[in-house]
């Protein structure tokens, strides 16, 4: 893929953030998500790719737009896999809470794991602790390995995890090991990315979250030089059958980063909807709005922070206003 596409992908996430951000704190997560989906889909039509949505808003009969299998882009080469989350953290937007993002990940065709909508167990770290984690090891063993790699004590580490009843035991083990815990209500894509960005104060991600979100986070971590391991946790025979259908004969396979995102030719773009640890949320001011985005490319390791000002509604020029005044005067 050409590097020029990076800015095209940012336009997609900017549009989604601008549309969804208007509904911040309004208490309607469905409306916030729909606004982002509509805006994102419209901009996709202008991007010069032959894209297929492999992670999106659901199956064809569940979502009218950005459904799994939908073709997006102008239909020109390159042929790519597309993973989208128009609003990563719909509850965060509805409640006006931090760290809501609009995100996309793009990779060459057949390079993104076609993860079904089910749960996935995850562990993730940044580049400083790459090669030190093991999803099959204990929480304490992983924390000690990461602390050693970062030349710190375990008590200096901060683990981030979704605040869910299913994580009660993991949280207890983190605290027993002496590490600090940062609980989040939603949004484990941004949480995984935070482990690989300096200044966020987060060192390791634990826990079970959505599988589609896991693949999107893996794309970002590949760009950032971090590491992630995962395992699908299907519930019942129907979900096991879906795992087999996606090409994984072993539903319990330990998935490495390269299993989630093959190769390095991957792009990741995100725009903040609400203020967060990495990105500022959308700021509206009359006819303009400001966005803060992050776009990364795995092949080069380039990370760009983009601050943009958008014209939402152009004011008529002085000449046209004067002409209108003259016309109104003549009519009188």
Residues that constitute the known binding site for substrate: 88-90, 119, 164-166, 186-188, 210
Would you tell me how many other CB atoms lie within 10 Å of the CB of residue 307? 9
Binding-site annotation: residue ranges: 33, 57, 85, 88-90, 119, 164-166, 186-188, 210, 213
CA distance 127 to 149: 10
Q: What is the DSSP letter of 112?
A: B
Which residues face 125 on adjacent strands?
A: 204, 227
State the binding site for Mn(2+). Answer: 33, 57, 85, 88, 213
Smallest Cα–Cα separation from 222: which of 155, 254, 281, 267? 267
Strand partners, 261: 112
DSSP string, 4-23: THHHHHHHHHHHHHHHHHTT
C-beta separation of 95 from 191 below 8 A: no
The gap from C-alpha 138 to its chain's centroid, in whole angstroms, comes to 27
Closest CA to 87 of 5, 162, 9, 186: 186
């Amino acid at each position: 893929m050409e590097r020029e596409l990076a800015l095209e992908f940012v336009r997609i996430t900017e549009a989604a953030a601008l549309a969804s951000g208007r509904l911040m704190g309004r208490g309607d997560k469905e409306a916030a998500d729909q606004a982002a989906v509509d805006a994102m889909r419209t901009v996709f039509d202008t991007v010069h790719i032959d894209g297929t949505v492999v992670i999106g808003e659901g199956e064809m009969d569940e979502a009218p737009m950005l459904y799994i299998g939908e073709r997006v882009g102008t239909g020109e080469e390159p042929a790519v896999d597309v993973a989208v989350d128009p609003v990563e953290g719909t509850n965060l937007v509805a409640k006006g809470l931090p760290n809501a993002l609009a995100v996309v990940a793009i990779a060459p065709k057949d390079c993104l794991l076609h993860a079904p909508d089910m749960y996935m167990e995850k562990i993730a770290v940044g580049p400083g602790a790459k090669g030190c984690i093991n999803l099959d090891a204990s929480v304490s063993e992983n924390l000690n390995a990461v602390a050693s790699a970062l030349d710190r004590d375990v008590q200096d580490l901060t683990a981030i995890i979704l605040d869910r009843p299913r994580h009660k035991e993991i949280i207890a083990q983190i605290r027993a090991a002496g590490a600090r815990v940062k609980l989040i209500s939603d949004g484990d894509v941004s949480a995984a990315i935070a482990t690989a960005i300096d200044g966020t104060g987060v060192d390791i991600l634990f826990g079970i979250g959505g599988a589609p979100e896991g693949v999107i986070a893996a794309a970002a971590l590949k760009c950032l030089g971090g590491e992630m391991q995962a395992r699908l946790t299907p519930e019942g025979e129907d979900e096991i059958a879906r795992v087999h259908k996606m090409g994984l004969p072993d539903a319990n396979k330990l998935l490495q980063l390269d299993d989630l995102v093959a190769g390095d030719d991957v792009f990741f773009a995100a725009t903040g909807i609400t203020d967060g640890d990495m990105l500022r949320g959308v700021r509206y001011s009359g006819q303009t709005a400001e966005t803060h985005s992050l776009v990364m490319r795995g092949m080069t390791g380039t990370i760009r922070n983009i601050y943009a000002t958008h014209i939402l509604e152009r004011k008529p020029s002085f000449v046209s206003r004067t002409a209108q005044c003259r016309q109104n005067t003549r009519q009188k």
